[in-house]
Amino acid sequence: MSEDQKKILEQQLWNIANTLRGKMNADEFRDYILGFIFYKYLSEKMEMFANNILKQDKIKFRDVTPKSKQSTEILDAVKEEALEKLGYFLKPEELFCEVAKRGKGENEDEVDKFDESKTNFILKDLQNILTNIQLSTMGTESEEDFDNLFEDMDLNSTKLGKTPDARNAIIAKVLTHLDKIDLKLESTELDVLGDAYEYLIGQFASGAGKKAGEFYTPQEVSKILAKIVTTGKSKLKSVYDPTCGSGSLLLRVAKEVKDVGNFYGQEMNRTTYNLARMNMILHGVHYRKFDIKQEDTLEHPQHLDKQFEAIVANPPFSAQWSANPIFTSDDRFSQYGKLAPNSKADFAFVQHMVHHLAENGTMAIVLPHGALFRSGAEQHIRKYLIENKNYLDAVIGLPANLFYGTPIPTCIMVFKKCRENPENILFINAAEYFERGTQNTLRQTDIDRIIDTYRNRKEIAKYSSLATLTTIAENEYNLNIPRYVNTFEEEEKINISEVAKQLKNLEKGMKNTDTDLIAFCKELKIETPF
């Protein structure tokens, strides 16, 4: 699929979202539109898989009906293989195209001209189908990955319409819209639809204000994190995001290497957790290759027995956490001697991630700029990480107003347990290089410059420098970037003689002007203003 075709697909999907716009907030109708796209994907994937199995028998899956013993045997055989390979099962009558056709009823394809009275009532069937997808996985390996996946799609919500018929009509419109889109799963790479899905998530994020930060990291920032943790590697055994949101950052890492063995993530928000699982499956990540958990990462970590080769995160900035004294004996925090303050969990996330980092791994975390220089417990933790462990590899300053919902400047801290350059730490000041807008963005040239500077550990005047551990110790482990990257611009020297000459000429000109003004006043027989 070409870039132009991809843009057409994105526009079509966004137009469908507009069908629900105005009825509810962006973060509410997001759950419906992304859920229906996911259902369509599962359906087409199922049909394509089943048709391939039945090809030798010259049978189309869509034509199999549960009316005969032979049909039942066929469906049982397909179901067994589907649960093993895909992780779920749909009956022919449950396919998206069949439901959309039933819903449209006697209406023509022109969705804008839909007559509510001509639609067939499909809400009950549709709700049952979404439930059946989950039920089909019970007792199988994929059960956890599909558990309550569609729970945020309440088809009986009055936000969709005041009456069941009104709700049915709007859903029928959305399904008909979607049914007209050919996802071309059989002839293109799986991540084409995934990219379009990412586009929609980004669009919803940009319109969702502060809440957006809960589930989405701007793509240009994701690129930087992904490129950093994959530096020097073509394959990864594992990648982990302790605050994974929609899972976009995990998937971004996968684009930078040939293969990722396993994806791990944890997300506290239930709705966003569902979105992350959908996003994984939609991008062609097999259910056996991802393990996404729903829980509070700091309070109830779900992967304590594991270490990961790559770790990325954009945790909520300066979030509150319990800082319960019981955590002083937790292996993640105990060696530091102090816990991150309960009003700012930034370094609690750092400690958690360091604990999970493999010896050959790299982690990159986005933090508010204040994490670089705040005193107290945070200073103590910074000192331990640098002086005792020497894990900090680089600090990258980013522009302000990059993230949805907050204008604050941010930074990226990069950690390695086995550093190639243990004698210094790289500082990059990229805060002034961006495209200005309502939401500031990093240009591809800005991203490339950051990555090139990081990978080659370049020192560039007014942009980057290598600071020795001694220098950092002398600064009492204050990592504020201007301390290490001199951005001072020397002012142009002033020629005093030339300025004096200009002043004299101005004085002479003013006197001439005053003389002319007096002459005009006399001619007009009015008083002079001085």
State the pairing for strand pair 392-397/410-416. antiparallel
Nearest to 303 by CA among 295, 277, 414, 349: 295
What pLDDT, in 10s, does the model give residues 224-272?
Answer: 999 999 999 999 999 999 999 889 999 999 999 999 999 999 999 998 8
pLDDT for 197 equals 72
Mean pLDDT on 391-414:
91
For Cα atoms 201, 206, 173, give the angle at the middle one, nearest 5 degrees: 55
Of 88-92, 115-119, 294-298, the one with minimum mean pLDDT is: 115-119
Q: How many CA atoms lie within 13 A of 252 on its CB side?
A: 25
Alpha-carbon distance of 34 to 18, in angstroms, equals 13
- For the chain, percent of residues with pLDDT exceeding 70: 92
What tokens does 510 get? Answer: 């003013």
Mean pLDDT on 21-48:
82
299/405: higher pLDDT = 299
415/219: higher pLDDT = 415
Q: Where in the chain is the domain with CATH 1.20.1260.30?
A: 3-205
Q: Long-range contacts made by residues 29-33, C-beta under 8 angstroms, separation at least 24?
A: 30/200, 30/201, 30/204, 30/208, 31/152, 31/153, 31/271, 31/275, 32/153, 32/160, 32/174, 33/174, 33/200
State the pairing for strand pair 259-267/235-241. parallel
pLDDT for 212 equals 45
Residue type, 384: Y
What pLDDT, in 10s, does the model give residues 344-364?
Answer: 999 999 999 999 999 999 999
Residue 211 has pLDDT above 90, yes or no: no
For Cα atoms 483, 487, 488, give the angle at the middle one, nearest 5 degrees: 105
pLDDT for 54 equals 93
Name residues whose C-beta falls within 8 Å of residue 164's C-beta, 6 or more positions apart in sequence: 121, 123, 156
Alpha-carbon distance of 66 to 63, in angstroms, equals 10
pLDDT for 296 equals 96
pLDDT for 264 equals 98
Of 109-123, 270-284, 298-312, the one with minimum mean pLDDT is: 109-123
Residue 310 in contact with residue 237, Cβ under 8 Å? no
pLDDT for 308 equals 98
Q: Give the chain's length.
A: 530
Nearest to 363 by CA among 470, 207, 229: 229
Q: How many of the other CB atoms lie within 10 Å of CB of 334?
A: 12
Q: What are phi and psi of 34, to 5 degrees?
A: -70, -35
What is the band of 210 on the pLDDT scale with cuts at 50, 70, 90? very low
Find where tokens 């600090």 sit. Answer: 395
Find where tokens 């056709």 sit. Answer: 101
Report the mean per-residue pLDDT for the chain. 89
pLDDT for 185 equals 72
**Category of 161 on φ-ψ map: left (φ > 0), alpha (ψ -120 to 50) or beta:** left
CATH of 208-419, one of 3.30.930.10, 3.40.50.970, 3.40.50.1370, 3.40.50.150: 3.40.50.150
Residue 60 has pLDDT above 50, yes or no: yes
CA dist list (Å): 108 to 96, 104, 177, 253? 18, 8, 12, 44
Residue type, 387: E
246/197: higher pLDDT = 246
For Cα atoms 352, 353, 359, give the angle at the middle one, nearest 5 degrees: 125
Mean pLDDT on 436-457:
94
Mean pLDDT on 420-426:
96
Residue 381 has pLDDT above 90, yes or no: yes
pLDDT for 229 equals 98
pLDDT for 510 equals 85
What pLDDT, in 10s, does the model give residues 515-526?
Answer: 888 888 888 888
pLDDT for 107 equals 83
Please, what's the largest Cα pairwise distance for the chain? 117
Q: How many of the other CB atoms lie within 10 Å of CB of 110?
A: 8
pLDDT for 526 equals 84
CATH of 3-205, one of 1.20.1260.30, 1.10.645.10, 1.20.58.100, 1.10.230.10: 1.20.1260.30
3-state DSSP assignment of residue 466: strand
Residue type, 128: N
Q: Where in the chain is the domain with CATH 3.40.50.150?
A: 208-419
pLDDT for 244 equals 94
pLDDT for 514 equals 83
Alpha-carbon distance of 489 to 487, in angstroms, equals 6
Residue 196 has pLDDT above 80, yes or no: no
What pLDDT, in 10s, does the model give residues 452-505?
Answer: 999 999 999 999 999 999 999 999 999 999 999 987 666 677 788 888 888 888
HEC letters along 296-363? CCCCCCCCCCCCEEEEEECCCCCCCCCCCHHHHHCCCCHHHCCCCCCCCCHHHHHHHHHHHEEEEEEE
Of 61-70, 190-199, 369-378, 485-494, the one with minimum mean pLDDT is: 190-199
Q: How many CA atoms lie within 13 A of 87 on its CB side?
A: 21
State the pairing for strand pair 410-416/357-368. antiparallel
What is the band of 95 on the pLDDT scale with cuts at 50, 70, 90? very high
Alpha-carbon distance of 274 to 292, in angstroms, equals 9
Alpha-carbon distance of 23 to 21, in angstroms, equals 5
Nearest to 341 by CA among 371, 378, 297, 370: 378
How is 228-290 classified by DSSP, letter by letter?
HHTTT-SEEEEEEETT-TTSHHHHHHHTTSSEEEEEEEEES-HHHHHHHHHHHHHTT--GGGE
Residue 312 in contact with residue 229, Cβ under 8 Å? yes
pLDDT for 321 equals 96
pLDDT for 25 equals 66
What is the band of 97 on the pLDDT scale with cuts at 50, 70, 90? very high
Mean pLDDT on 420-425:
96
Residue 382 in contact with residue 394, Cβ under 8 Å? no
Of 64-73, 156-165, 349-358, the one with minimum mean pLDDT is: 64-73
Mean pLDDT on 279-299:
94
3-state DSSP assignment of residue 441: strand
Residue 89 in contact with residue 136, Cβ under 8 Å? yes
